[in-house]
A and B are shown apart, each in its own frame.
Chain A
Amino acid sequence: MKLRLSADAIRLLIPALSLTVLLAAVFWLQPRAMSYVGLNLLFNLAVPIALATIAQMLIMAVNDLDLSMGTFVSFVACVTATFLRDAPLLGVLILAGAILVYAGLGVVIHLRNLPSIVVTLGMSFVWAGLAVLMLPAPGGQAPDWVRTLMTAKPPFVPMAIVASVFIAVIAHFLVMRSSLGVLIRGVGGNQRSVERAGWSVVYARAMAYGLAGLFAVAAGIALVGLTTSADANIALRYTLLSIAGVILGGGEFIGGRVSPIGAVVGALTLTLAGSFLSFLRISPDWQIGAQGAILIVVLALRLLLNRIENREKGR
């Protein structure tokens, strides 16, 4: 019991440590960021990314990969900025339908034994097409309640932090503490043994995809709440960001080994890396490159800590 606990703790320690180091570096470069407003600005855009990362994590928990995350979040953003504002009922129906489509994808992928990469790749075209149909040019407007929610100013702690903690806690209970979460991770770990134990793998996969759709919908709505308007290409980066966030947070591609809290921390780290670079005044040419370098450094750190973990185990 003690050993397991420490392994889990170390899995979480690495993302937490990298976030702390980055945060310290940002504060050192720009002490004014160490305030309510500063923190909110730093982490504002992390909220939708964190939600998308959780969505990607759920799919990775069943050993699949979602390459349509970015276009799907863009699609949701477009729905939010148009239908959800002008015809709320229709908007809710569309979003609910989209979540059902996600669950359906899980069923189809399982029943026909299809590679999830290709199916989601195909779906990414579909979502992009629907988004373009709705908003051929950037536009639309965020519904007022979304705007109010995302720009709320709770006392003492900025909204971005409150929301991130909230997301992490919900995802943690859903994935690590509920029986459904155990089932989903079990499918990732050993699908055949879950099947033999009498569980329905189709159900687990459908739920994993459906929940992922739900979180991705939340990501799109949150994004529009921040940007106030939408565009069909608004969130294309999210596909790769969400995968990187899961990995940074200690998740793995196969084996159902994921960490919801880690995923949120990973998303925060990725967002902070961007701010850190602009504070460093790196030439814009090298901003993306430096982001890649930070990713590499963090992963090298993880390797180092994993080595320490293994050494402890060996004793």
Chain B
Amino acid sequence: MSALARLTRKPWIWSWIAAFVVWFATIMVTGGASTLGLSQAALTFAAFSIVVGIGQMFVITLGPGNIDLSVPATMTLAGTVALKLMNVENGMILPGLLVAVLIGVAVGIANYALIKALRIPPIIATLSMSFIVQSAAIWTNRGLRIKPPSVLADFTTSMTLGVPNVALVALLLSLLAWVLLEKTIYGRWISAIGQSMAAARMAGIPVDGVRFVTYVFCAVLASLAGYLLACFSGGAALNMGAEYLLMSIAVVVIGGTAVAGGDSNVPGIWGASLFMFLVVSMLNTYGLGAGIRLIMTGLIIISVIMLAGGRQPGAR
């Protein structure tokens, strides 16, 4: 019993319960016929939100006002440039990946340069940056739709032992993030900064360095997600990052990370990402129209946050 009580106090448990309930409700309707297919689809599509969401979570952990709005533009730019460079050749996969990561690093550096040098609130700094990055993506793309190299296309759309490969990539990145957050001094530092930047500074934490690394990390994860998504969907599109702006914030917060910063967890991202996808597919299964589906999605998000929320006084 005490183990159960401890479990319900974990902030991420609610997103998992919600995801499971929705999963169950969907399967009940189809009579269990689509169990495997639904689970695999959920893992595949959730994987992209997980990768983006982890980066966003690190940024949000830094405290109030820290949100990276350049995520969608970074995804788009990384996807388009990498596919253009690879030019359907299998030998160019690694250079393509490298370029995607470099784009992430560059955007991250630029983001933090704006925040620090101009003392702009991060929301506005990353928003301005995203305009510029989006323009760069439009300029490089020019309406072309280049296919990904065949090996990469196969890798992102197929499975290993019944688990989608992209979900495995997301799992690897999540493990890395979990270790970073829970087991390293860096993870302690970002939580400390999120709880009180002034106190962290006085405790001798290299605040600027840590924030800088965090923004770069977030941008790199976004560009990785863009790279994978472009390969998965058979080519980069200029609007491919658009839905991940709100999605990345939603999965972080539904996952139980405090919006006020300083308290975050990786498992919640998984629960929330699966939940967000499963809600949409459940409503699709019920055959509801687009309007009703949107309304239901919104109401479900609000209900989950009302059930799980209200634990941190003073949270934004």
Contacts and interface: CB of A to CB of B under 8 A. Distances in A.
Contact of B315 (A113, A124, A296, A299): A113
Given A114-B309, A247-B124, A254-B64, A133 B291 contact: yes
Interface string B226-269: 00000000000000000000100110011000011000000000
A91 interface: no
A122 B135 contact: no
A295 interface: yes
Given A289-B135, A292-B129, A123 B298 contact: yes
Interface in A186-212: none
A195 to B, nearest CB: 12
A132 B124 CA distance: 29
B253 A244 contact: no
A285 B135 contact: yes
B247 to A, nearest CB: 10
B309 A132 contact: no
Nearest to B294: A129
B143 to A, nearest CB: 11
A275 interface: no
Interface stretch (B32-40, B114-122, B151-159, B180-188): B114-122
B124 A129 contact: no
A114 B314 CA distance: 9
Contact of B294 (A117, A128, A292): A128
Contacts of A17: none
Interface stretch (A62-70, A174-182, A214-222): A62-70
Contacts of B29: none
A291 B128 CA distance: 8
Given A128-B294, A132-B291, A296 B118 contact: yes
Nearest to A289: B135
Interface string A26-58: 000000000000000000000000000000000
A247 B128 CA distance: 12
B256 to A, nearest CB: 11
Interface in A106-135: 108, 112-119, 121-133
Nearest to B138: A285
Interface string A137-167: 0000000000000000000000000000000
Given A125-B294, A126-B294, A112 B306 contact: yes
Contacts of A130: 291, 295
A208 to B, nearest CB: 14
- In which size bucket is the chain B interface? 35 or more
A228 interface: no
Interface string A236-247: 000010011001
- Contact residues on A (Cβ < 8 Å of other chain), bracket: 35 or more
Interface string B122-139: 011101111111111011
Contact residues of A: prevailing secondary structure: helix
Nearest to B311: A113
Contacts of B301: 118, 121-122, 125
Nearest to B133: A289
A24 interface: no
Nearest to A241: B127
B96 to A, nearest CB: 23
Interface in B261-313: 289-302, 305-306, 309-313
B69 interface: yes
B316 A292 contact: no
A117 B253 contact: yes
Contact of A288 (B123, B125, B134, B309): B134
A136 interface: yes
Contact of A64 (B114, B297, B316): B316
Contacts of A124: 246, 298
B292 A299 contact: no
A126 B298 contact: yes
A293 B28 CA distance: 52
A280 interface: no
Given A129-B294, A243-B123, A244-B127, A299 B305 contact: no
Contact of A289 (B124, B131, B305, B311): B131
Nearest to B246: A121
A115 B121 CA distance: 19
A125 B133 CA distance: 26
B121 A253 contact: yes
Contacts of A289: 131-136
Contacts of A21: none
Interface in A272-298: 283, 285-293, 295-296
Given A289-B132, A299-B118, A240 B302 contact: no
Interface in A67-87: 67
A299 B124 contact: yes
Nearest to B301: A122
A169 interface: no
Given A243-B124, A296-B128, A121 B250 contact: yes
5 contacts: A115-B316, A116-B316, A122-B300, A126-B294, A289-B131
Given A123-B298, A253-B123, A292-B131, 11 more contacts: A63-B316, A112-B306, A121-B301, A123-B302, A124-B298, A127-B298, A128-B298, A129-B290, A132-B291, A243-B127, A292-B132
Report the 7 A-B pairs with minimum CB-CB distance, sorted nearest first: A289-B135, A292-B131, A125-B298, A129-B294, A129-B295, A133-B291, A122-B301
Interface of B: 64-65, 69, 114, 118-121, 123-125, 127-136, 138-139, 246, 249-250, 253-254, 259-260, 289-302, 305-306, 309-313, 315-316
